[in-house]
Structure 1
């Protein structure tokens, strides 16, 4: 996108308050980059020392953008237990101590807001919905009423609408199409443990009472009907929903100073659409037995793959032991040049944007889902927890740009190597897979066009920035 320079005399400042889980951090940092590079507005990101380091280590680009200013604060020490690969419920409960510690950013946020609000025409606070406790004093600190807050909701509008339907005990008015979808909407059973629900409930400080609107990493191109439904049910008067997604870059640009990951030496040699990318994000820990089955399924499929084989994040990724994951004996030797196993951090967006990548086996976290759809890559859906089952349904049943590896009704079952072999072959080498890929490519094209000047998402962005700089 071409840069639209905003008049610096407006003296508008934006504070981003991300939640300290990688998928949440990543989305608001991408939004920071998008806003500052397109509209030349200064961004101040407040986070814990540990998680600020995590974000900038994994994506150094964020710390090299002149108009993004990081403010890292020490919070109380927290336990950083290992993830449990054998847990029945896959939600990353090992992160909860780190989440609790991040709530101590309340006073540092107040201090930063107080400092930045003096002399500013307006301070715009964009906070993750789970950081409402941290920003709850914003109205008390707003000097001359020059502070506005916008809540960022990190899941899809599709998932959000069905959460609203759950909360209403099914009392929302649904048309015939929605009634049919409702029959297939996955339950919330086993998406969270009781401790997880209690933590989420503890964060509710009625942030909607002081929020000027809500931002989604959502696109009308992808889920326009559900954006409209959420807006109709939840927003009125001066409260506005802003679907500004995708936040992630829609074009992959590598200049001569950019150090590419070594995996691209292999990926560059492969045929277009020939490689399956396998990754389950930063919050999923898979049992040794399931890893063995997945490895054998990939091997038997005889299709090329890149498999990012990492354990789920701990609260502090820089401390303690890292689980050593064992592959079947002789697996890498047998696979040879047909596959690549990556055990460190991998640049997912660049992999998905590479012409050799023709499929994405994913947990369907919303961050990964948006990146896959933006790059026009069909998705093999294997949801694990949280909003992922509903994101998977959007991808497979509504948009028809993917297929299930395992749907949510089978979540307690082991996915054997035969199932994995079959689904990989269906996506990568069948007429059915070719049709899904064609739809995924077309969707990706429409999403990228929406980000161009005059496109539907670019107009949303222009409208939001015009509103906060008015």
Structure 2
């Protein structure tokens, strides 16, 4: 009798599954992978996050608003500081002809050496669990290739970009350019790195996409149809960000939130170009005058692109026109620190977002119902800008992508700010952005489409 009883308890408690996240090293990829890790850990699954010590430190530091402090969310994740070769961390070059952050290439190349440390970690963890689930960035297939030799492991790719931009890029490689966005500014080095992943794609058993079916269903279907791996499954789970509230950051961010408190509802244009954009001195000057002449309120995050190692050495001093900050102090604020973007976009005073249209920023803005003044710089951003302005109609374009080599004039900037913040057209776009925000937030609620896809993924990996 006792033996029978014993058997019962073991069958009802399956040995746990363990999930390992293997992110790519650019900030937006690190951050999306961490948000997904939080979401998976909320299902009581043990989650490991494997990257170099520098990149682990970076993603934690940014999450907590620049304090290297722990948080309840972070304490649930097991971080593994894996060894990578030393890499150079040069300053970005704002005058480069291609706007892709080529100065990060040494850190990208060093990351490709993670195959052996990752393989060792996976083999080690696989002995302690019934099933090992590896989720990795689409640029990290070669690094996780040893999954194929671990009998109880399976891998899933995590796409940090929109389904629309993925479809566009695939058609570009096939030589059909739909839509007519010329070659997005990518370097040969990053194209080569992406191409090196192709031979390992067959190891994955599915894709997790940081997008929402209600927003991109036709493009998700198109990706699914072109999938060579027949039993490949697809889960679209965005927005990640509303499920797990971020830690309110203390530190640099609060002064801008205090400033926003004093502004009227929906009156402020938030201006930020993410972590991989470097503007020339000339462009910074045009931006300053354009914002000032628009007579609209603004909160401008003025930072250079991240370096490969954000904790070392000097940063470029970004100069504003003499007396600029003093002259706009009633209506504008310039911040040079890392800011809590979600809290800013969620603030009632913010009525628009001038953005480089990285997918992370697009999703954050849209899920909070904030319309976008799109100013794409490189990679998938021109496609996202097109998607935002032409397909969803929740934003406007600051300039034509074809003019990307020229400085955007202060007049064009002034006009874009006025169109979005102070016109009937802007009102219509804002209404539409609020509707899309409602859709996205509903998708992430209990019974919503993204929440159901997430539950379905969890059911699949714990089957």
How far is the alpha carbon of 1:169 from its aligned partner?
3.2
Would you say 1:465 and 2:458 are equivalent positions?
yes
CA deviation string 1:105-127 (max 9, x = no partner): 21221121112111311110000
Verify the 8 A CA contact 1:359 1:428 in the aligned structure 2: yes
* 1:17 alignment partner, one of 14, 22, 25: 22
Would you say 1:338 and 2:331 are equivalent positions?
yes
1:421 paired residue number: 414
How far is the alpha carbon of 1:197 from its aligned partner?
2.2
Q: Distance in 1 between matches of 2:322 and 2:120?
A: 55
* 1:185 alignment partner, one of 180, 183, 188: 180
CA deviation string 1:230-276 (max 9, x = no partner): 11122553111211112222685777x96662211111121111111
Verify the 8 A CA contact 2:237 2:454 in the aligned structure 1: yes
The CA RMSD measured in Å over matched residues stands at: 1.9
Q: Distance in 1 between matches of 2:428 and 2:96?
A: 36
2:41 paired residue number: 36
How far is the alpha carbon of 1:183 from its aligned partner?
6.2
Q: Distance in 2 between matches of 1:206 and 1:195?
A: 17
What secondary structure is seen at the aligned counterpart in 2 of 1:130? coil
Pairwise mapping of residues 223-234 of structure 1 onto structure 2 (< 5 A)? 223-234=216-227
What secondary structure is seen at the aligned counterpart in 1 of 2:317? coil
1:389 paired residue number: 382
Pairwise mapping of residues 288-299 of structure 1 onto structure 2 (< 5 A)? 288-299=281-292
What secondary structure is seen at the aligned counterpart in 1 of 2:224? helix
Q: Return 5+ residue gaps in structure 1 as ranges.
A: 1-6, 171-181
CA deviation string 1:197-229 (max 9, x = no partner): 23333x325222111011111111221111111
Verify the 8 A CA contact 2:39 2:243 in the aligned structure 1: no
Verify the 8 A CA contact 1:62 1:68 in the aligned structure 2: no
Would you say 1:197 and 2:203 are equivalent positions?
no
User: Per the alignment, do residues 62 and 96 of structure 1 end up closer, same or farther by CA in structure 2, a change over 3 Å counting?
Assistant: farther
User: Per the alignment, do residues 205 and 400 of structure 1 end up closer, same or farther by CA in structure 2, a change over 3 Å counting?
Assistant: closer
* 1:46 alignment partner, one of 50, 65, 68: 50
1:92 paired residue number: 101
How far is the alpha carbon of 1:423 from its aligned partner?
0.9
What secondary structure is seen at the aligned counterpart in 2 of 1:137? helix
Would you say 1:59 and 2:63 are equivalent positions?
yes
User: Per the alignment, do residues 134 and 262 of structure 1 end up closer, same or farther by CA in structure 2, a change over 3 Å counting?
Assistant: same
Verify the 8 A CA contact 1:383 1:407 in the aligned structure 2: no
- Length-normalised TM-score, structure 2: 0.92
Pairwise mapping of residues 94-173 of structure 1 onto structure 2 (< 5 A)? 94-140=103-149, 142=150, 145-170=151-176
Q: Distance in 2 between matches of 1:305 and 1:407?
A: 23
How far is the alpha carbon of 1:323 from its aligned partner?
0.4
- Length-normalised TM-score, structure 1: 0.91
1:284 paired residue number: 277
Verify the 8 A CA contact 1:17 1:45 in the aligned structure 2: yes
Q: Return 5+ residue gaps in structure 2 as ranges.
A: 1-11
Pairwise mapping of residues 294-305 of structure 1 onto structure 2 (< 5 A)? 294-305=287-298
2:8 paired residue number: none
Q: Distance in 2 between matches of 1:308 and 1:352?
A: 13
Q: Distance in 2 between matches of 1:299 and 1:331?
A: 9
What secondary structure is seen at the aligned counterpart in 1 of 2:333? strand
Q: Distance in 1 between matches of 2:415 and 2:216?
A: 29
User: Per the alignment, do residues 52 and 240 of structure 1 end up closer, same or farther by CA in structure 2, a change over 3 Å counting?
Assistant: same
How far is the alpha carbon of 1:193 from its aligned partner?
2.2
